[in-house]
Amino acid sequence: MIPKGKLIIIGGAINTGSFAETQFGLPENMNFFERGILKRITTESVKDVESRFEIITTASLMPEKVGEEYTKAYAQLDVHNLGVLNITNREEANADENYERIKAAEVIIFTGGDQLRLSSIFGGTKIHQLLLEKYKNESVVIAGTSAGAAASSKNMIYQGSSKDALLKGEVKITGGLGFIDDVIVDTHFVQRGRIGRLLYATASNPGILGIGLGEDTGLFISEGHIMEAIGSGMVILVDGRHMTDTNLTDVEMGQPVSIKNAVVHVMCDGDVYDLADHSLVIHHPKVVPIGS
């Protein structure tokens, strides 16, 4: 079944660093508007600036501040029909009042922070089931930044250092919110050197596509399988389907893992990858001569 909803996953705090994850406050000049990612979320919604937005700050260590920043950013885009939901436990994720707010929303955005909070608080709740139903049956836009992006898939990386990622057992994987199958998403990808995490994840399950999102970069996913790169940075794809060998099951915990023949793609703004047939079409912008 082709979902009617649209999914937008973004690799991190847009352009200026991981504002939603840091415990030391927010960068002063957050550039939410670089290459129009927040604008794209708006224009893809059913009523554009008139759509009802709900910002879910559950993952963040600073929910009030993050909510304020999103409210200010969207006000500059002339979006004012917006609410902030800081759901902090499973009881609140099953509460009728919060359920009705999500039911009425046409755009739902999960902010950054700790993706394990999202899966453990929302997983299996009334709101989680509602979100899955809305994504399948309604023209809703569900977006996630950083942790919100990582939690969007059925499989989710929640722990693992970049430098030790290719040691057996270092990368921890659990279930996400399940809006999209057959992929696993990692964020702040280029800036934090997380290629090892995706290589390990795809080596352990070669049937899934690893997606590494750079900061200020994302994927706009329509029909459940058409993925368009958006933003100013890069999206790295790791395809393990053609992997011919690995020693993952042979080495002891904590030992390095070997991988043979993993395929890597790099996407930039405008490139399109089709999950259905695993094809990549690279966008070739026209170069305008200087002075023309």
Which of the residues are catalytic? Answer: 146, 188, 215
Sheet holding 235-239, edge to edge: 172-175, 153-159, 180-186, 209-213, 235-239, 263-267
Query: Within 13 Å, how many C-alpha atoms sit on residue 208's CB side?
Result: 24
**Nearest-angstrom CA–CA distance, 95 and 63:** 19
Listed residue (86, 39, 89, 95) closest to 67, CA to CA: 86
**Nearest-angstrom CA–CA distance, 31 and 29:** 6
8 Å CB contact between 10 and 145: yes
Listed residue (242, 222, 210) closest to 179, CA to CA: 222
Listed residue (173, 131, 134, 108) closest to 4, CA to CA: 134
Helix runs in 163-211, H state only: 195-204
Handedness of CA 45, 176, 264, 241 (dihedral sign): negative
Find residue 222's DSSP bridge partners: 226
Do you know the residue count of the chain?
Answer: 292
**Nearest-angstrom CA–CA distance, 174 and 158:** 7
Token readout for 228 is 């368009």
